[in-house]
Amino acid sequence: MAGRAFISGIVHESSSWKDLWQWFIERNERFDVLDRIDGLEVGQRILDRCRVLKEYPSRAEPRSPQDGDAFHESKLAAFDFPLHQLVEAERQRQIEGMVAAAARLIRLVGSRA
């Protein structure tokens, strides 16, 4: 249990790809695949934002390119910056959970040496 971390596919770098989210939003009605984001507030906010973008595509808030960002057009922020912020927050939370699990495991193994 010490080394256990609960993560989803959102932790993968591809979760920041614009095309992935556009495809996902266009082809889903209920977004139940995302219901497994631990039931946390940020997970619910991601679902809510996807529903808004599905129902009202004109409410997307794309972010302007930043200087030197050659890949801006492929990033989620170019599609909808609020969704990008939510996804990034959840992604960081899950990464921090993995780091904490690894640290717990190292402490446990170290205490038995």
Q: Does residue 102 lie within any of the structural domains?
A: no
Q: Number of structural domains, the chain?
A: 1
Cα 79 to Cα 15: distance, rounded to the nearest angstrom: 13
Beta bridge partners of 75: 17
State which residues form the domain around 35.
10-86
pTM recorded for the entire structure: 0.82
Q: Does residue 2 lie within any of the structural domains?
A: no
Q: Phi then psi for 97, rounded to 5 degrees?
A: -65, -40
| % of the chain at pLDDT higher than 70 | 91
Q: Does residue 35 lie within any of the structural domains?
A: yes
Greater model confidence, 5 or 37:
5
Q: Does residue 49 lie within any of the structural domains?
A: yes
Q: Does residue 77 lie within any of the structural domains?
A: yes
Q: Does residue 103 lie within any of the structural domains?
A: no
Q: What is the pLDDT of residues 37-82, one digit of tens each?
A: 555 788 888 989 999 999 999 999 999 988 888 888 999 999 999 9
Q: Does residue 47 lie within any of the structural domains?
A: yes
pLDDT, average across residues 80-99: 93
